[in-house]
Structure 1
Amino acid sequence: MRMKTLPAVIALLSAAAFVAPFAHAINAVALPADAPADRSFGKLEQVHAFYDAMPTGVTVSETGRIFVNFPRWGDNVPFTVGEIRDGKVVAYPNAAINKENPNDPSDGLISVQSVVADGQGRVWLLDTAAPGFADPKPRGAKLVAIDLASNKVVKRLVFPDNVMLPSTYVNDMRFDFRNGAEGTVYLTDSSLRGPGAIIVMDIASGRAMRRLSGVPATSVDPAFVPVVEGLPVMVEGADGKPKPLGVASDGIALSADGQTLYFTPLSSRHLYAVSTALLRDASVSEQQLAAAVQDLGEKGASDGMEADADGAVYAGDYEHNSIRKRLPDGQWQTLVHDPRLLWPDTLSIGPDGYLYFIANQLHRQAAFRGGQDQRQKPYSLLRLKIDAAPAPTR
């Protein structure tokens, strides 16, 4: 054998050795539909099915009335706040107020992101004045209180310029009537392109402070990549390249005694807490306040939180189609896990011992699915029995 043929012989022998073990074909069949699979648990009940615009928020009053909101993100939204009555959603408090007043942005409702019943006979509407996540219209972002007995507007608070940035997107709110002449409201700025923050507003005067602006606890976790239904939730960046969805401080909950505010960026899996007394105290510097924030560890990624009267905190886990509960001792338990629980958004505890929440498939919107809207109607208002009362506000 000539030496120049040796490499070819070695290659031939190696190939034969590799093929030999696979001389017999490997047969396979489609995985049976009844093969072991992810198990659901927890009893979900559907309260309402939405076949039109996508809802984001829900609240249940102390008398059991249910209100929902529809931000103007691109769907056809004839009214941005509604009440569920006799199986239908009707404009609330009326159709007229659900239209923008082009001459006075502080008047009509432009795009409501959140509705919260305060336990004191009113429901509050949080108007971002930022349809489609545009810059908020000047003097348009506001809180509107509706008296539930008369269904009339009894308070309108326009956010002052000192707390509003061009990137501000006011998202969720919690009320405490134990502090201030008419109470205090805490809100999240869940900006998509600027600093997140907690906004603290005195209801009587309308004065407000922007707190924890841009600190890590209110900001997008730079290492966070949300994964829902096995796919990363990506958006198009300024450079045209895909990047993970980044939303700042979003979910918020107030402890039963009013002394602790819980909050989380949407683009994070961590729960944070801070003293409300420090938040309200203008003499406490931002550095001091940031140092007082507690990182309570991972809870899952949430787009909505709530607290009950017994010291527990509830949070959606949109990556795992779940609702979770943090016990007073800090331990977490999963209350329900169900593949139909597609993006739990906003939580509210009713007077009937149920936890109510929206499942709206937010992650299937065209912006996150390469320009293709993959949402499937209906969207759902669901509930889960928790045998707990809402945290008191007074």
Structure 2
Amino acid sequence: MQLKAALLKTTLLAVMAASSLATPQFALADAKPEIIGRLTQPVPDPSGIAVSSSNRVFLGFPRHADNHSWYALGELKNNKVEPYPDNKLGSVQNGNYQDWLVSPHGMYIDKNDVLWILDDGKRAGEQEIPEGAAKVIGIDTKTNKVVHKLIIRKPVLNSGSHYNDLRVDLSHGSQGTVYIANSGFKEHFSLVVIDIATDNQKEVLVNHYSTSPDAGFVAFLEGKPHKYDFKNQTFPLGGADGIAISPDNKTLYWTALSGRNLYSVPTAILSNFSQSESNIEKSVKFEGQHPANDGLAEDEKGNIYFGAFEQESLVKRDPAGNYSLIAHDEKNFGWPDGLAYKNHYLYITLGQWNRLADLNGGKDLRKPPFLVMRVKVD
């Protein structure tokens, strides 16, 4: 075990060595991950996760890779998932896409315990995203009622987009501003910004270097190398994916699914609809490198958490740019997906997305149960 820990530390140091920041300092973890959910059929792969101030755990079950008929949104209670907030919102309906969750992906809970859900609007086997399907829904978890519905409209709506994750900034706009990371279904990458009160929306940084995959990206998954090839995909890939916001809501961070560079932009500029695209591009800041990851999470101290899929680990970046290993689990952390931080715990969904049949020559390598885990980080 000591040898494995030393090798893991060496790997993480190598990944970070190219950072423009000072050489990061690492600490190895002794935290023990805890399984809080073992999801078996008919429950599909979980992706998004959000946790309320009272430690209620909410899960999303997207349909863009597996067009399932189970509920698309649930609450985890005593190792079982119950449809949330009712049997209707997450159930498949005919048409009326604006009235139900087609394929919820990213999730976020704000300081008022409003659960924000990003619906990418895409179902496996369908080429287009119907109008009304891609949207952001806000649910007050204290009343379990829908209080916001923001439809992503044309020309911002693009069927080549994959609306992957979101953050909500309550300090800009009279009711707040939503920031969306678009990792791309068809090599269309960007950020999307929506003013909650006015419903003004815009797409920015389209195929910009900060939202696009790194050229020549290669990842190692479960011991095997995979090269970025959009026409012959052998692992989950894409552009802007992981997204996080600073505790003071002044800075938005994001990473590319197929990349190792962390970027940021001031929210005062991003949320301002009078700012030009060129000004936004000039405001993008390179924040150094990081382990290749899917989802991000952040805490009230300004730490950012990464699901490091190559190292099968959870990693923390502090505000000074130093990295530490939170937990390593070779057995279960094959593809850390959704992350959420709440009350000193980091929560994680493990949907085994890299084992989908479409990515493995038609052979489904997933092995349920799908796990939901947490680990104490303080």
TM-score, normalised via structure 1 length: 0.84
How many residues of Structure 1 are paired with residues of Structure 2 in the alignment?
A: 350
Q: 1:75 to 1:135 in 2, by over 3 A?
A: closer
Report if aligned partners of 1:192, 1:246 keep a CA contact under 8 Å in 2: no
Report if aligned partners of 2:131, 2:153 keep a CA contact under 8 Å in 1: no
Higher RCO (CA < 8 A, seq sep 6+): 2
Q: Within 2, Cα distance between the matches of 1:374 and 1:343?
A: 13
Question: Are 2:16 and 1:50 aligned?
Answer: no
Displacement of 1:278 after TM fit? 1.3
Question: Are 2:75 and 1:83 aligned?
Answer: yes
Q: Tell me the residue number matched to 1:372.
A: 363
Deviations 1:323-364 (A, max 9, x none): 11111111112211220212111111123x101111222111
Q: Within 2, Cα distance between the matches of 1:87 and 1:195?
A: 37
List gaps (5 residues or longer) in structure 2: 9-29
List gaps (5 residues or longer) in structure 1: 1-34, 388-394
The residue type equivalent to 1:175 in the other structure is V
Deviations 1:240-274 (A, max 9, x none): x5677531100000001111101011010111111
Q: 1:74 to 1:234 in 2, by over 3 A?
A: farther
The residue type equivalent to 2:210 in the other structure is A
Percent of aligned pairs sharing the same letter: 33
Query: Which one of the candidate residues 328, 336, 344 is aligned to 1:344?
Result: 336
Q: Tell me the residue number matched to 1:137.
A: 130
SS at match of 1:333: strand
Deviations 1:111-149 (A, max 9, x none): 111222222132122111101274311221111111212
Query: Which one of the candidate residues 232, 241, 244 is aligned to 2:225?
Result: 232
SS at match of 2:53: coil
Residues 35-44 or 129-138, more deviating: 35-44
Q: Within 2, Cα distance between the matches of 1:244 and 1:122?
A: 33
Report if aligned partners of 1:136, 1:169 keep a CA contact under 8 Å in 2: no
Q: Within 2, Cα distance between the matches of 1:258 and 1:191?
A: 26
Q: 1:245 to 1:310 in 2, by over 3 A?
A: closer
Deviations 1:351-389 (A, max 9, x none): 3x10111122211111221111111111111111113xx
The residue type equivalent to 1:70 in the other structure is F
The residue type equivalent to 2:150 in the other structure is L
Q: What does 1:269-284 align with in structure 2 at a 5 Å threshold? A: 269-284=260-275
Q: 1:160 to 1:67 in 2, by over 3 A?
A: same
Q: Within 2, Cα distance between the matches of 1:218 and 1:342?
A: 24
TM-score, normalised via structure 2 length: 0.87
The residue type equivalent to 1:50 in the other structure is L
Q: Tell me the residue number matched to 2:197.
A: 204
Q: Tell me the residue number matched to 1:313.
A: 304
> Cα RMSD between the aligned structures?
2.1
The residue type equivalent to 1:94 in the other structure is D
Q: What does 1:143-182 align with in structure 2 at a 5 Å threshold? A: 143-182=136-175
Q: Tell me the residue number matched to 1:12.
A: none
Q: Which runs of 4+ in 1 moved over 3 A?
A: 39-42, 232-238, 241-246
The residue type equivalent to 1:111 in the other structure is S
